[in-house]
Amino acid sequence: MLYAHLDQLRADADERLARTLREVSSLPQAMSLRDATVAELSAQRAQYDAVENGLCFGRLDFSRDAAADTTIYIGRMGLFDRDNDYEPLQLDWRAPAARPFYLATAASPQGVRRRRHIRTSMRKVTSIDDENLDISTTRDAATDDGLALGAAGETALLAALNATRQGVMRDIVETIQAEQDEVIRSALTGVLVVQGGPGTGKTAVALHRAAFLLYTHRELLARRGVLIVGPNATFLKYIGQVLPSLGETGVLLQTVGDLFPGVTATGLESQEAAEVKGRVEMVEVLRRAVGDRQVVPEEPLVIEVERVEMTLTPAEIAAAGDRARRSGRLHNHAREVFEREIVETLTRQEAQRLGAEFLDACDLADIRRELAADDEVRAAVAELWPTLTPQRLLTDLYADDDRLAAAMPEHPQAERALLRRAPEQPWTPADAPLLDEAAELLGVDDRAERARAAQRQRDAENYAQGVLDILQLEDEADPDILLAHDLIDAGRLAERQEDTDHRTAAERAAADRDWTFGHVIVDEAQELSAMAWRVLMRRCPARSMTLVGDVAQTGALAGADAWADVLTPYVADRWRRAELTVNYRTPAEIMAVATEVLTRVGAPVEPPTSVRESGHVPWSRRTTELAAAAAGEAARDREGTLAVLVPQRLADDVGAAVLGAVPDAAVGERPDLESRVAVLTVRQAKGLEFDEVLLVEPAAVVAESARGLNDLYVALTRATQRLGVLHTEDLPFELGPSPQRTVQSTQV
Ligand SMILES: Nc1ncnc2c1ncn2[C@@H]1O[C@H](COP(=O)(O)OP(=O)(O)OP(=O)(O)O)[C@@H](O)[C@H]1O
């Protein structure tokens, strides 16, 4: 019945789409409207396709004495009966009335008598799990531990968790747990921090929260957009599939390296360099770098204007600079003031030369105009106070030891050297926040763009006037006829022909540095530097944000050790904190090893509790032939995905050996996670998961970074089933015997 309704919706959308595509008009406005309708219908059509699989996954039967003595279905979208007053047939999982599906327990049934999990494959029901929540007819309330699910919910959950991974993330709408539901449906406003250990579903929850917020606050968020920031491009690809399948497209996914419009920062640099660039003191460094470009020469500057030599003394130049700075404008805007002051100084000189007493105000104005237009004068101003783009400022700063020394006088030489870089090298992710900050300090010199816009407006008005004139000519003879002229003027007519911008909020936001988002979600938020936080706070002045992460997994040297350090400068203590405590990924056998490492990390967090055991005991093997051994393991026939996690220094060797044994393995900077086998550094594996992990030389992972233990913790928690370790050096952790069954399935 539900699929029949979906088919009907699909057919209607197809029919409207075909009809709209057939519409042809010579009026630009009509065509633009047509394009917008086509885009909307296509998006609707894509949403119907996205919900095809698993359209319906739940059913709630309410108690007979409950207000709603009914049955409702829960699914990936809401469906309504058009022939019956739009009675709901199925509720969207995000609707408030669907909440008991995730929250009801036998101890607190919320009127629910029975919860049913329905699993389907294509359009066939493959299994049904029922939970009876009516405690009067089932078990004693005391046996219910108040946790999210009873036995049947577990079946659905464990089936989802045990399924092999495919290289892209899947949604979890069928089995969202109570503590996750709290986060997903938390209020839109304010800053919410979600701290949770590895595998607690932070990424999943962040994405489902985006879908929930877009559903609940559609109007505001479709207009302002939602920004989701993730750690790298591979990760964004991994999660990119989840949102469309949730039926949402108005979201912008970006890495920190994408945050400055027009620049895709993919260059590599050392952790140490990124750390220096991430410090908040870089604001002052950039301020000095800008000041350094407002030049006062030591010697007088001689300018030849129309074969007459004119001189600007250092004092005169400094005075012009002071005036410009006192204007309070940004560098590029203050340049107008500086230029005016310089022209004024030269005008006075010229007036003196010609004999001031013979000149009136008109003569002075002429001299001023000529000097302002003179190439030599313009070149001098450009040298003394250049118009700067953020890219120019930073490129010049990195390329020159003297500029670096002037901007970073208090930094040790070694730190300045970390920033030194040739102009042709690509931007790195740590540069993006600096470019954005520089844009804040410089201001955009948009005079040329404003002049072009004004010209475009004039052209459009002239054209419209022409049209009106022609219309008038045709009917001029009869004064009784109402003419176009009588109804509209050229300005209005031009305005009406203007194309309205039909791009989505996400598309417009990506191109606009001044865009402010309705909500910002940051995944792996612990990795962001102080400078990156400044950009994000600028993009979200309303401070409506969800930050998910784990301060025990911080890998970046510029990253956070505690959430308060990040947030206090922006919202003091006005932020909410939620905790996710259950690990849905890492089996108990592997988590026992990881927990030992976590205690040594010393972060103020509790280890999450694994929801299940896999039955596979982690193993290790000592060998001096690490690359060959890794290749041998990778070549074994297996079901599911394998990640070979390596320290940076072994990445090339192990990558080459594995590629020799498994030709379609993913290696290198941009690995394709759809491959069955991937060789990755820990940095690349952050936030991802694999059926099996083979960790190579963990001692080197620890030694490679000041946050090496955090990296090791991340590496150890990537597997959903099995963990193996190859090493030459001693292991920095114990791989003990199989742990006790610490977690009973009823403790889900
Ligand atoms: N309620 C749930 N139902 C089914 N699967 C779930 C649920 N919660 C989490 N998972 C699964 O657990 C795995 C880990 O989730 P996720 O990647 O979101 O964790 P994370 O907290 O972001 O981990 P990390 O900190 O390691 O990046 C994923 O496969 C996710 O689909």
**Residues 467, 465: Cα–Cα separation, whole Å:** 5
Q: Which mutation among 689, 691, 693, 720 tests ligand 1's pocket best, with the greatest number of atoms within 8 A of CB?
A: 689
**Residues 80, 85: Cα–Cα separation, whole Å:** 9
- The pLDDT of residue 637: 85
**Residues 426, 543: Cα–Cα separation, whole Å:** 32
Ligand 1, atom 3, residue with closest C-alpha:
175
Structure-token pair, residue 491: 């300005």
Q: Give the up-direction half-sphere exposure of residue 650: CA atoms within 13 A in the CB hemisphere.
A: 31
Centre of ligand 1 from the C-alpha of residue 687, in Å:
9
- The pLDDT of residue 148: 38
Centre of ligand 1 from the C-alpha of residue 596, in Å:
21
Ligand 1, atom 15, residue with closest C-alpha:
201
Centre of ligand 1 from the C-alpha of residue 711, in Å:
19
ipTM: 0.98
Mean pLDDT for back-to-back runs of 10 residues, the chain (748 residues): 95 94 81 85 88 93 70 94 91 93 86 91 90 66 40 72 78 90 95 96 93 90 90 84 70 92 90 96 97 95 90 96 96 96 94 84 91 94 96 96 96 96 94 96 75 76 74 60 66 63 75 90 96 96 95 91 94 94 94 93 88 92 96 91 96 96 91 90 92 97 93 96 96 65 34
| Cβ(73)–Cβ(89) below 8 Å | yes
**Residues 129, 244: Cα–Cα separation, whole Å:** 27
Residue at 715: amino acid letter: A
Q: Atom of ligand 1 at shortest distance to CA of 205? A: 18
Centre of ligand 1 from the C-alpha of residue 230, in Å:
15
Q: Which mutation among 117, 119, 161, 524 tests ligand 1's pocket best, with the greatest number of atoms within 8 A of CB?
A: 161
- The pLDDT of residue 210: 92
Non-local (6+) Cβ contacts of 487 within 8 A are none
Centre of ligand 1 from the C-alpha of residue 499, in Å:
44
Give percent helix, percent strand, percent coil of the chain, each to the nearest 5.
50, 15, 35
- Is the Cα torsion angle 318, 323, 326, 327 positive or negative in sign? negative
User: What SS3 string covers 66-106?
Assistant: CCCCCEEEEECCCEEEHHHCCEEEEEECCCHHHCHHHHCCC
**Residues 56, 728: Cα–Cα separation, whole Å:** 52
Structure-token pair, residue 310: 């004119």
Kindly state the greatest CA–CA separation across the chain: 110
- The pLDDT of residue 511: 84
Residue at 471: amino acid letter: L
Backbone angles phi, psi at 621, to 5 degrees: -140, 130
Ligand 1 lined by 161 (C-beta under 6 Å)? yes
- The pLDDT of residue 145: 40
**Residues 668, 654: Cα–Cα separation, whole Å:** 11
Non-local (6+) Cβ contacts of 411 within 8 A are 276, 285
Q: Which mutation among 57, 170, 172, 714 tests ligand 1's pocket best, with the greatest number of atoms within 8 A of CB?
A: 172
- The pLDDT of residue 601: 87
203 annotated to bind ligand? yes
Going across the sheet that includes 79-81, the strands are 79-81, 87-92, 71-75, 56-62, 112-121, 124-132
For residue 224, give the nearest of 509, 517, 514 by alpha carbon.
517
- Is the Cα torsion angle 14, 19, 24, 28 positive or negative in sign? negative
Q: What is the pTM assigned to this prediction?
A: 0.84
- The pLDDT of residue 111: 87
User: What SS3 string covers 594-648?
Assistant: HHHHHHHHCCCCCCCEECCCCCCCCEEEECCCHHHHHHHHHHCCCCCCEEEEECH
> In Å, what is the CA distance from 305 to each residue of 289, 309, 369, 376, 570?
31, 6, 13, 7, 52
Pairing state of beta strands 642-646 and 677-681? parallel
- The pLDDT of residue 219: 87
**Residues 735, 719: Cα–Cα separation, whole Å:** 15
